[in-house]
Amino acid sequence: MIPSPETKAKCEVLFTVNGKTKKVLTHPMERLLDVLRNELGLTGTKEGCGEGECGSCSVLMDGMLVNSCLIPVAQASGANIVTIEGISAHALLLPLQEAFLECGGAQCGICTPGMILAAVHLLDKKPEPTLAEIREGLAGNLCRCTGYMQIFEAVATAARRRVGK
């Protein structure tokens, strides 16, 4: 099969990733996940299912939690993207990491970056979430290892520490 001009066409996409302006030349339908990992070397964002069902590829795009495996890179043009690597300066990261370790919320690690980003997104909106709000806030993220209670407890623990309880 001879590739058509449409399949060979590349476009320049300019966006902000973790506070830095990035420009990539790629096919417009290339997944944001692949551009982040393969073009920009940000391998903290994981691919679990490739279908938007597991949340392992979660990133923040213009403040919204999205599955990067579902986003064509052209759709991210002009957007502000934050990956797990980009939240290292966030005040919640260390308390969340500590709570995940203490509560056994991380095991194999495939879901952990997405869970952490979902938890940061939740706690930024609701600093003192109920268990039901934590469940809802993390509902788009699947974990095969922990059974979720350790993850929910880790988020609740980080929230309590953040507000000084």
8-85 is classed CATH 3.10.20.30 = yes
Q: Could you read off the pLDDT of 7-28 as tens digits, one per residue?
A: 568 999 999 999 999 999 999 9
Residue 17, number of CB atoms within 10 A of its CB: 22
What distance in Å separates the CA atoms of residue 153 and residue 99, rounded to the nearest whole number?
8
Q: What is the percentage of the chain residues whose pLDDT exceeds 70? A: 93
Nearest-5° angle of CA 62, CA 63, CA 65?
105
Domain extents in the chain: 8-85, 93-163
CATH architecture of the domain covering 93-163: Orthogonal Bundle (1.10)
- Residue 5 scores a pLDDT above 80: no
For helices 112-125 and 149-163, give the axis angle rounded to 10 degrees: 40
* Alpha-carbon span 46 to 76, nearest angstrom: 18
The per-residue pLDDT for 71 is: 98
* CA Rg value for the chain: 17
